[in-house]
Amino acid sequence: MAGEAEPVAGDTLQPAPGRACGSCTMCCKVLEIADLSKAAGKWCVHVKPGRGCGVYDTRPGVCREFYCDWMVDARYGPEWKPDTAKFAISPLTQGTNLLIAVDPNFPNAWRKEPYHRQIREWVKACEAMGKFVLVRIGQRCIALLPDKDVELGAVGVNDDLFVSRDAGPSGYVYSVEVRRRPD
């Protein structure tokens, strides 16, 4: 997906007071890390599940700078910590969409409560800003639109997603198209 190769990170993001990854290593599984040739949904070869990164002092910059939304936003309760929720939430690089990267061993975790109700609220809020919520389960991608969820199948990090809306008889009707780009 355009912009997905590198999650938003940066100099301004810092953990919220009292937040630490601790034993959580979910981002080391669910995110694609181009610098390490690591596919989404697969464990990083350097991770020590439940303990952390085996190359912590020399890890790539994208790993050094990345914080999931649970780490930076104190409004998330403990149930939203990625190793509990079985997914990590982060904005995409250009900040145009919200990514919910799900552990492939728990593909429906995002559909459970208390998560699903909140995610549907984000879909509404994002739409008002011209943004969208995407669920990625390994290479599989689902676009969450205000009027429906669209299963997109395997979507590569270089592929582009185009969302459009047209006026319908009872409100907007949304569609999404994947435009494949060569790797």
pLDDT of residue 7: 40
Residue 28 and residue 44 in contact, taking contact as beta carbons nearer than 8 Å: yes
* Amino acid letter for position 23: S
pLDDT of residue 80: 96
Residue 76 and residue 88 in contact, taking contact as beta carbons nearer than 8 Å: no
Quote the CA–CA distance of 25 and 29 in Å, as a whole number.
7
pLDDT of residue 3: 33
Quote the CA–CA distance of 182 and 39 in Å, as a whole number.
17
Q: Output the pTM of the full model.
A: 0.86
The residue ranges of the chain whose pLDDT is under 50 are: 1-11
Please enumerate in sequence order all residues whose Cβ is within 8 A of that of 112, keeping only pairs 6 or more positions apart, or say none: none
Quote the CA–CA distance of 84 and 81 in Å, as a whole number.
5
